[in-house]
A and B are shown apart, each in its own frame.
Chain A
Amino acid sequence: IAGITQAPTSQILAAGRRMTLRCTQDMRHNAMYWYRQDLGLGLRLIHYSNTAGTTGKGEVPDGYSVSRANTDDFPLTLASAVPSQTSVYFCASSERETAYNEQFFGPGTRLTVL
Chain B
Amino acid sequence: GQNIDQPTEMTATEGAIVQINCTYQTSGFNGLFWYQQHAGEAPTFLSYNVLDGLEEKGRFSSFLSRSKGYSYLLLKELQMKDSASYLCAPLDSNYQLIWGAGTKLIIKP
**In contact, B101 and A102 (Cβ under 8 angstroms):** no
4 more contacts with CB within 8 A, not counting A100-B50, A107-B41, are A42-B98, A45-B97, A99-B95, A102-B48
CB within 8 Å of A: which residues of B? 4, 30-31, 33, 41-45, 48, 50, 87, 89, 91, 95-102
B101 engages A105 (CB within 8 Å): no
Q: A90-B42, A102-B45 are in contact. Are A43 and B50 (CB under 8 A)?
A: no
Interface 1/0 per residue, A27-71 and B, CB below 8 Å: 000000001000011111100100000000010000000000000
Q: Which residue of A lies closest to B97 (CB)?
A: A103
Question: How many A-B residue pairs lie within 8 Å, measured between CB atoms?
Answer: 48
Q: Which of B30, B41, B42, B100 contacts A42 (CB 8 A)?
A: B100
Interface residues on A, range: 20 to 34
With A99-B50, A100-B50, A102-B48 as contacts: A44 and B99 at CB distance below 8 Å:
yes
A42 touching B102, Cβ below 8 Å:
yes
Our pick among B4, B30, B45, B100 for the contact of A99 (Cβ within 8 Å) is B30
Nearest residue in A to B6 (C-beta to C-beta)? A42
In the assembled complex, the Cα of A45 lies from the Cα of B42 at a distance in Å of 15
Measured in the bound complex, the distance between the Cα atoms of B4 and A108 in whole Å is: 23
* 5 pairs, CB–CB < 8 Å, chain A vs chain B: A41-B101, A42-B4, A45-B97, A103-B45, A106-B42
**Given the interface contacts A90-B42, A99-B31, A103-B45, does A43 sit within 8 Å of B91 by beta carbon?**
no
